Chain A
Amino acid sequence: MIQAAISKKLGHKKNAFETEFTIHIKTGDFVAIKGKSGSGKTTLLRLLSGLEKPDKGLISSDSEEWYNSETKTFVKTQNRNVGFVFQDYALFPNMTVRQNLEYGNKNEDQKLIKELLEITELDQIQNQYPNTISGGQKQRVALARALVTKPKYLFLDEPLSALDLDLRTKLQEYLIEIHKKYQLTIIMVSHDELEILNLANKVIELEDGKVLQQGSVSEVLQIESGENQKTIQGRILALNPDTREVTFSAFGNIITTPIAKEKFATLQVGQIILIDLDLKKIRVKP
């Protein structure tokens, strides 16, 4: 559990603005931080992970105090037991994929490294250097590397923004698997509502360096729900003209559902749609 009530001044004299965050993250949550660019998403992530120091306030993780401006307590990133996936991957160019993972592995836990390489399907390229692998592979290395220290919290700074849709979907699946398998608390910056829908159970929305709202995905993204009916937003992954079925991903699953003939003709792969789902009828795979 992370609790924080912090403030930090950003920018220089003329363009300076004050950020102020009061947040509460429960253990095991998958939290998405959303907001326009410049709203302070990355700053919040960096403050929570200890890469930046707030000016004032309090941050605590369970019973441990990470930051307290009154007592001048500041626990460095190194001692916070966090994993961080950077937007630019930040893979060490002088090390192979495997060495990138081994670097953070204190006890040379080969079993964990092997397991992570397998989950992220990197075992084939483990001896290659980062400059010889693709963007999607780099992202998976960054993810696996962040997990090698067995962190309690995993911070992701727009991890999927630079990837195309197919890779995104695949990486979302990895994230879901990792979240479940390692029972992590994940805090992810994202401006993509579909991504948030697919992955998160909680959303913190920021605006101008302040928390606008925080709550469950349906509360923040205003998803209507009835007993057997849900309206959700999704991006179309595939269309099957034979069965008139549309496949899209939402809530961490890939959903396939039939659509009326006249509606089906207007749809395109990649399009964002609002779908009224009858929860009794949808087929979910896997």
Chain B
Amino acid sequence: MFDWSPIFLSLELALCTTLILLLIAIPLGYWLSKSNSLFKPVVEAIVSLPLILPPTVIGFYLLISFSPESAIGSFFNNTLGLQLAFSFPGLVIGSIIYSLPFMVHPVANGFSSLPPSLAEASFTMGKSKFQTLRKIELPNIKNSILTGIVLTFAHTIGEFGVVLMIGGNIPDETRVLSIDIYSKVESLDYQTAHQYSGMLLGIMFLILLLVYFRRQGNKNVLL
């Protein structure tokens, strides 16, 4: 039977993940593009890890660290009153980690692609680093930011392995669209699986179409 709640839950998860990741990726990408620190390769490797690790491995470690017996799990449980395993907040944290490279890489590449003289010109005009970031650097990497937003949003909506491991299949809490499609197929409800899948395909195609239309004529964007 067709139910809207997995769709809304997927969109809500993707929206939360994208917004929080944007706030993380801007300072992190800025630092990665400017830093000469010895720790930079370590941070780069950690950020890129979700690209090559199987989602089940990430999900497994997250599940362990979310348990109330672990330090992270007990911190969230005792301090913030949040139960992370098999809950929506846990899904958001898992998605943030899983989609980290999809937001950080485009943003960091965007910052790196700007000639250093742009920021320096702003400094010679008396502007601080923050003013330069806000008025010069961010507006000039808006296409990279948009790429990061779209990739993260789409990647989160399509997420399956991590969600299944840390969220399970709880209606209105963790049963997102991709999980529901899987359970519908398992229960041989092909009609609803078709409707969900068709809808997902349509949404994804529309998002990508919008991005490609937007970047037409703007060649300095990598997707």
Contact = CB atoms under 8 A, between A and B. Distances in A.
A79 B125 CA distance: 9
Interface stretch (B26-34, B55-63, B115-123, B177-185): B115-123
B139 A90 contact: no
Contact of B120 (A51, A91, A145): A51
Contacts of A86: 117, 120-121
Contacts of B122: 92, 103
A42 to B, nearest CB: 11
With a 10 A CB-CB cut-off, give which of A91, A93, A94 has the most chain B CB atoms.
Answer: A94
Contact of A103 (B120, B125, B128, B140): B125
Interface string A82-123: 111011101111100000000110100000000000000000
Contact of B115 (A82, A83, A88, A145): A88
B200 interface: no
Contacts of B127: 78, 103-104
A94 B139 contact: yes
A94 B120 contact: no
With a 10 A CB-CB cut-off, give which of A91, A103, A106 has the most chain B CB atoms.
Answer: A103
A43 interface: no
With a 10 A CB-CB cut-off, give which of A87, A92, A148 has the most chain B CB atoms.
Answer: A92
A121 to B, nearest CB: 21
User: SS class of chain A's interface: helix, strand, loop or mixed?
Assistant: loop
Contact of B140 (A76, A88, A93, A146): A93
A253 interface: no
Interface in A108-146: 145-146
B82 interface: no
Contacts of B140: 92-94
B121 A82 contact: no
A247 interface: no
A266 B125 CA distance: 49
Nearest to A105: B125
A155 B52 CA distance: 48
Contacts of B126: 78-79, 104, 106, 149
Nearest to A83: B124
Contacts of A149: 124-126
Contacts of A82: 124
A83 B139 CA distance: 23
B121 A84 contact: yes
A104 B118 contact: no
A214 interface: no
A258 B70 CA distance: 93
A49 B122 CA distance: 13
B115 A104 contact: no
A212 B136 CA distance: 39
Contacts of B139: 94
Contacts of A93: 140
B135 interface: yes
Contacts of B118: 90, 92
A100 to B, nearest CB: 9
B118 to A, nearest CB: 5
B135 A77 contact: no
Nearest to B117: A90
A281 to B, nearest CB: 45
A149 B117 CA distance: 17
Contacts of A77: 120, 123-124
Given A88-B115, A90-B118, A92-B118, A51 B136 contact: no
17 contacts: A49-B124, A77-B123, A77-B124, A78-B126, A84-B124, A86-B120, A88-B115, A88-B117, A90-B117, A90-B118, A90-B121, A91-B121, A92-B118, A94-B140, A106-B126, A145-B125, A149-B124
Given A51-B120, A92-B121, A104-B126, 19 more contacts: A51-B123, A77-B120, A77-B123, A78-B123, A78-B124, A82-B124, A88-B115, A90-B118, A92-B118, A92-B122, A93-B140, A94-B136, A94-B139, A103-B122, A103-B135, A104-B125, A104-B127, A149-B124, A149-B125
